[in-house]
Amino acid sequence: MRVHVVDPPAYTPPYDHALCAALAAAGADTTLVTSRFGYADVPRDGTYTVDERFYRHGPQRPGRARQAARALQHIPDMVAYRRAAREADVIHFQWLAVQQADVHLLPTGRPLVLTAHDVLPREAGRRRRDAQRRLYERVDHVVVHSEHGRARLTDDLGLDPARVTVIPHGAFTHLLDVPGAAPLPPELAAVERPVVLCFGLLRPYKGIDVLLEAWRGIDDAELWIVGMPRMDTAPLRAAAPEGVRFIERFVPDREIAALFERADIVVLPYREIDQSGVLFTALAFGRPLILSAVGGFPEVARDGAARLVPGGDPAALHAELAELLADPAARAALAQAAAQTARERYGWGPIARAHLELYGRLTGGAA
């Protein structure tokens, strides 16, 4: 079976790589159709083809000039891809970034699948959200990573349940052994106290303000807030109590292992989410987790791999942080459960087989 996994803006290279490698290992002739990722080299293992056909002209370094160049190229590149898509048996889009236009530009004549990484775009206007709904109607099938996401698609947006399949997000175990892995920078390596890690793009829905309020009164540990800002972080810095360290930059794959292996606890205080790549990175590294009880997070916590707190509740988060920091045995139990869950429930082999079974149904033949 010839499968195109399509992510024009290269929003999720780790997920794209893990899925394509798993599909190839399961026997599919897999091509990742995407654009060049501007922040760092992306993983690829040679088992699948990479076609960086989108946004080839203009600046490749992130910035406004790059965004403008991509906007100009998007429609011509989508039109050109319609011709290339004839080579595939199934076309599986991961992201469509210009929803209002993309609903009119999708390929025809082949089954189309769209993964609902975000059921509806966050921090977006009504027009983009309405266009996302139309995209769901336009494709043949939607994959979502949690039962919570499935309920939103079927109950809230009215999609036919027969057109929605839950396939879990996989644990990013490929990050455990990245060539050229880098140690912690000296200033971080010198920290002797326990470390709580909040990792990923810094965005309003992730509840960093709640976490900072919850951190007040915790004096025997450090909180590391690590990731590239997608918001004004000056108010967060001004509100941060003692013991908080901000590392505001993109973190390449080769630096991730050192950060997660150093973390005594990983915390995701999100206000809303379906599922999170950061969560599945922490599971891969077997880290103790504290999660907000939002979106698909409780489905992971049911396996004993995480503690839950109400979203937006700094007092509850403070109590959970203080309790786990004071209880190494509880942290060890959570770490063991996280590593076991990553292996047994969120392995990429079963995830690839679930995708191929879906593709086989859509094409009317065995995958």
150 touches 168 (CB < 8 A): no
| 309 and 183, same domain (yes or no) | yes
| 262 and 295, same domain (yes or no) | yes
CA 316 to chain centre: 26
**The predicted structure's pLDDT at residue 94:** 97
CA distance 94 to 116: 8
What is the SS3 assignment for 246?
A: strand
CA distance 107 to 76: 13
CA distance 78 to 105: 6
110 touches 33 (CB < 8 A): no
| 132 and 246, same domain (yes or no) | no
| 358 and 244, same domain (yes or no) | no
Short-list 7, 39, 83, 13, CA closest to 250: 39
| 340 and 352, same domain (yes or no) | no
| 199 and 230, same domain (yes or no) | yes
| 52 and 14, same domain (yes or no) | yes
| 190 and 119, same domain (yes or no) | no
| 133 and 183, same domain (yes or no) | no
Residue with tokens 């011709």: 83
What is the SS3 assignment for 329?
A: helix
Query: Is residue 229 scored above 80 in pLDDT?
Result: yes
Query: Is residue 303 scored above 90 in pLDDT?
Result: no
**The predicted structure's pLDDT at residue 123:** 63
Residue 130, H or E segment: helix 126-138
Own/partner long-range contacts of 69-77 (Cβ < 8 Å, ≥24 apart): 70/9, 70/35, 71/98, 74/8, 74/98, 74/101, 75/101, 75/105, 77/8, 77/53
User: Looking at this protein, which amino acid is placed at residue 83?
Assistant: R
User: Looking at this protein, which amino acid is placed at residue 265?
Assistant: I
Residue 22 CB neighbours (<10 A): 24
Quote the pTM value: 0.94
Q: pLDDT digit string (tens) for 126-178?
A: 787 888 889 999 999 999 999 999 999 999 899 999 999 999 999 999 999 98
- Domain containing 116 equals 2-170+347-363
* HSE-CB for 31 with a 13 A CA cutoff: 20
CA distance 326 to 262: 17
| Start-to-end Cα distance in the chain | 6
**The predicted structure's pLDDT at residue 124:** 64
Query: Is residue 122 scored above 80 in pLDDT?
Result: no
Q: pLDDT digit string (tens) for 20-52?
A: 999 999 999 999 999 999 888 777 788 999 999
**Conformational region of residue 10, where left means phi above 0, alpha means psi within -120 to 50, and beta covers everything else:** left
| 206 and 338, same domain (yes or no) | yes
Supply the CATH number for residue 85's domain.
Answer: 3.40.50.2000
Task: Quote the number of domains for the chain.
Answer: 2
Angle (nearest 5°) at CA 151 between 150 and 153: 65
pLDDT band for position 119 (50/70/90)?
A: confident
| 337 and 242, same domain (yes or no) | yes
**The predicted structure's pLDDT at residue 366:** 47
| 307 and 291, same domain (yes or no) | yes
Short-list 122, 357, 174, 178, CA closest to 280: 174
**The predicted structure's pLDDT at residue 227:** 97
From the CA atom positions of the chain, what is the Rg in Å? 21
